[in-house]
Structure 1
Amino acid sequence: MRMREPTRKTKPSRLDDVARLAGVGIATVDRVLNERGGVKPETARKVLLAAQQLHLARRLPNPYRRSLRIAVIYPPPVTQFFRRVNEAVLQIASTLDREVTLHRIFADPDSPTEVAAQFQNSTADAFVLYASEMPKTVEAVRRASDGGRPVVTFVNDIPDSGRLAHTGIDNHAAGRTAGYFAARMTSEPGSVVVLYRGPEYRVHQQRLRGFETALAQHAPRLAVSALIEGPIERAHILHTFGRYLIEKGPPLIVYSTGGGSGELGSELAKSNCVGKTLFIGHELTDQSRDLLARGIMTLAIDQNPELQLRVAIDTILGELGYIGSIPASTIVPFTVFSPENVGSALSG
C-alpha cells in the first residue's frame, strides 16, 4: 500500500496565481500540488512549472515526469576539439536520470539549410546547439523556441534568435588576454598576423576585438598588419599563411582566434619561425600540447567545452523542471596553458 503524505496547504491567493499562469482551474492546481492524481501529465507539468516560476519551491513529482529528449547539434567529431565535445556528450549522458536522453546530431555549422532541417526533423523536446549565426539558422532556433522547445547555444552565441541561454567563456576577455600577453612578452615593434574565422561567428568577432583592444592599450606600437580570414583547416587559408611567411619572414606575433594550431604550427616550423614568433591560439588538444612542449606555441587559451555542455544541459533541465534550479551563471572560465603548465594538464 502506498502511503500518502499529509495534504500540504497553499494559500488560496497563490493557487490563483499558479492557475492563471498555467492556464488551468484552481481545482486542477490543488490536485497537482497535493498529488491527488487524475491530471494529465502535460497539464501537471504546466502547473508545476508555473509553481516554480512563482517560487513555491516545489519540484515535479515523479508520477508526472515523462521522458525528456535533448538533441545536441554540433559538427562531426573530426577535429580534436569536436572529439572533445563528442566525448563530453557521451560522458554527461551516462550521468543523467533514465528519463533524460541525449541525442547526438552531427550537422555542418556553416550550412544553415542542414541545421534548419535537423531542427525540423527532430522530435527532441529541447536543443543544445553549435552553429554559425546565419538568417536561416536564426529562424530555425526561433521556431523551436516559439514552439516550446528551448534552445541553448554553446561556444558560439546566436543572441537574436529567442534562444533560452548561451553557455561559453567571455570571448572578449579571452581575446584581451591574448593581446595582453602578446604586448607584455614582446618589446620590439614588428608584424602581427591574425587568423580569423569570419564574421558569421560572433565568438571570433569578440576575440578579435578583444585582442586589438588589448594591443592598443598595452602596446600602442603594435597593430594587426595582416588579417587572414577563413576556416584555418582549409588548404587555401594555410597556403595564404604560408605565402605570407615566405614573403614577409617571421612575424613578431601570430594569433589565431580559433583552432587549427597543429597546421599553423607546422607552417611556422617550416618557415624557421620557431623562437622568433610568439604564437597564441585557442583550445588544448593533443596538437597544441605538443606544440607547447616543443616551444613552437607560446600560449593556448582553452574554453572548457566539457563544462559548457554540462551547464547548457543543466540550464535546460532546470528550465523544464527536471532539476531544482537553473545554473546561476552560464559563463564558464577559460584556462591559459603555456609550456610551463601543460605537463600538469597531460598528467590530469
Structure 2
Amino acid sequence: MSKPTFADIARRAGVGTATVERVLNGRGGVRPETVEKVVAAARTLDYPRRLPDAHRGIIRIEVILVRPDSTFFSRLSRAFERIAATLDRTIAVHRTFLDEGDAQAVARRIREPGARRGGLILAVPDHPSICAALAEVEAQGLPTVQIVTRIAGSKADYVGIDNYAAGRMAAHLMRGMQQRPGSIAALCHSQIYQVHRDRIRGFSDYLAEHPREDLTFTELLFGHDDGRRSADLLDETLRRRPDLVGFYNAGGGNGSLNQLLRRHPRSRDIFFVGHELTERSTAALREGTMDVVLDQAPEAQARRSIDLVLARLGLHDLPIENPPIRFVTFTAENL
C-alpha cells in the first residue's frame, strides 16, 4: 500500500492538512488534544516516519465505574483491561472506581479528571448533580458514552441491553413456567438507576397486560445491591407471605439470596429469576435455587463503548452501529 498522505491523516483525525503538517513536522502551536488525535491517526494509518519526541501524544479514555466489590462491575472492569491491551499504544484506557453513594464526588471527577482525556465512558447513578456535570463536559465537545446505566437528559451514546424488555422477559418466563398459584415479589437496587426502574416497569407491565388470576405481583423491595440486606428482605418476605411463589431480582446480590434459599424449606416452591451469569449463579441454576438468569454480556458492552469513543475521535475505520446489546437467557438446560 502507498504511504498515507497528510490529507489521509487529516480526514482520519478530523482536522485540516495544515494542522497535520504542523504536528508531524514538530512546528508546535497546536492544542495538545489535537496533537493526540493527529498522532493517533498517523499511527493507525501506519505512517512510516518517526514522530518528534515532543509530539508523542497519548489519547486517554477514562472509564468511571462503581462497586468494585460486585461481580458484574469487576467483570466489566476486566473486559476493559483486556480490550486496552489490544489497542494502539497511543490510546490508554484508565479505569476509576468511585462510591456510588457520593454523587458529588462522581460529579467532581467528571468535571475535574486530573489529567487530559480524549473520551469518557461511565456507569454511574442517575443523579441531578451527575447529570449537570455530564452536560458540562458534553457541551465542551468531550466524546462520552454511558454503559450499563442511562442518565436522563444526557446526549451521550448509551450502550446496554433493552432493560424494559429484560423485565418483560423475566415476567413472561415466570408467568409461563411457575405453575403454582400465589404472590410474586421483585427486588432491585433502589430508585437511583434508570436501568433498574426500566426492568421493574417492564416486569410489572407484562404481568398487568397478561394477567393470571392465580398469580399476583404484590410488592417491590429495595436491597441496594447489598447481599445481606437483600437476603434479609427476602427472608422477611418469605415469613410474611407464605403464598410467595415467584421472586425477580432486577439488581445484584444473587449470591446471598441463593445462600438463603439453599437452606430454606420453601426454596423449591420459589421461581427465581435474576441477572448476570457468574460462577455463583451458574451453580445456583444447576442446584435449582435459581430458575432463570438473564445475562447482559458486559464484555460486549465494553467493546462497543470503546469503539464508539474511537469513532467519535475519528480513529475507527467504519461507522459503529449501536442497537441494544442482546441479553442471553440461561437455565440449567443451556449452561
Question: Fold-level match, TM-score > 0.5?
Answer: yes
Q: Which of 287, 291, 298 is equivalent to 1:294? A: 287
* Aligned ranges 1:227-246 → 2 under 5 Å: 227-233=220-226, 235-246=228-239
State the secondary structure of the residue aligned to 1:280: strand
Distance in 1 between residues matched to 2:257 and 2:6, nearest whole Å: 66
Specify which structure has the bigger relative contact order, considering alpha-carbon pairs within 8 angstroms and separated by 6 or more residues.
Answer: 2
Change (3 A) 1:215 1:61: same
Partners of 1:199 and 1:44 in 2: how far apart? 37
The residue aligned with 1:176 is: 168
1:339 Cα deviation from its structure 2 partner: 0.6
Distance apart, 1:78 and its partner CA: 1.3
Counterparts in 2 of 1:178-257, with a 5 A limit?
178-221=170-213, 222-233=215-226, 235-249=228-242, 251-257=244-250
Q: Distance in 2 between matches of 1:276 and 1:214?
A: 22
> Amino acid of the residue matched to residue 181 of structure 2?
P
Shift of 1:107: 0.6
| Cα distance between partner residues in 2 of 1:202 and 1:159 | 8
Q: CA deviation at 1:128?
A: 0.8
Q: TM-score, normalised by structure 1?
A: 0.80
Q: What is the DSSP-based 3-state SS (H/G/I as helix, E as strand, rest coil) of the residue aligned with 1:96? A: coil
Amino acid at match of 2:257: L
Among 326, 335, 340, the residue aligned to 2:328: 335
Distance (Å, rounded) in 2 between the aligned partners of 1:322 and 1:300: 36
> In the alignment, what sits opposite 1:12?
none
| Runs of 5+ consecutive residues of structure 1 not aligned to the other structure | 10-17, 23-28, 50-58, 343-348
CA shift in 2, pair 1:297/1:32, >3 Å: same
Please tell me whether the aligned partners of residues 183 and 245 of structure 2 are also in contact (alpha carbons under 8 angstroms): yes
> Compared with structure 1, are the counterparts of its residues 30 and 288 closer, same or farther at alpha carbon in structure 2 (3 Å cutoff)?
closer
The 1-side partners of 2:203 and 2:325 are apart by: 19
Q: CA RMSD in A?
A: 3.1
State the one-letter code of the partner of 2:162: D
- What is the rounded CA distance, in whole Å, between the counterparts of 1:183 and 1:66 in structure 2? 56
Range with greater deviation from structure 2 (123-132 or 303-312): 123-132
1:307 aligns with one of 300, 303, 315: 300
Match of 2:82 in 1: 91
SS at match of 1:225: strand
Distance 2:201 2:311 in 1: 33
Aligned mate of 2:128, from 131, 135, 143: 135
Taking a change above 3 Å as real, the CA distance of residues 216 and 295 of structure 1, as seen in their structure-2 partners, is same
Q: Equivalents in 2 of 1:7, 1:291: separation in Å?
A: 58
Structure 2: stretches of 5+ with no match in the other structure:
39-43
Structure 1 residue aligned with 2:41: none
Q: Check 1:34–1:301 CA distance in 2 against 1; reply closer, same or farther (3 A cut).
A: same
Count residues with an aligned counterpart.
315
Counterpart contact for 1:312–1:330, Cα < 8 Å: no
Q: TM-score, normalised by structure 2?
A: 0.83
Aligned to 1:25: none
2:309 alignment counterpart: 316
* TM-superposed deviation, 1:61: 8.3
- Relative to structure 1, the CA distance from residue 92 to residue 44 in structure 2 (aligned partners, 3 Å threshold; closer, same or farther) is closer
Instruction: Give the Cα–Cα distance (whole angstroms) in 1 for the partners of residues 3 and 177 of structure 2.
Output: 68
Identity of aligned residues (%): 29
Find the aligned partners of 1:155 and 1:131 in 2 and give their Cα distance: 9
Who is 1:73 aligned against? 64
1:264-303 matched pairs, under 5 angstroms: 264-303=257-296
Partners of 1:270 and 1:256 in 2: CA distance? 19
**1:146 is the counterpart of 2:139:** yes
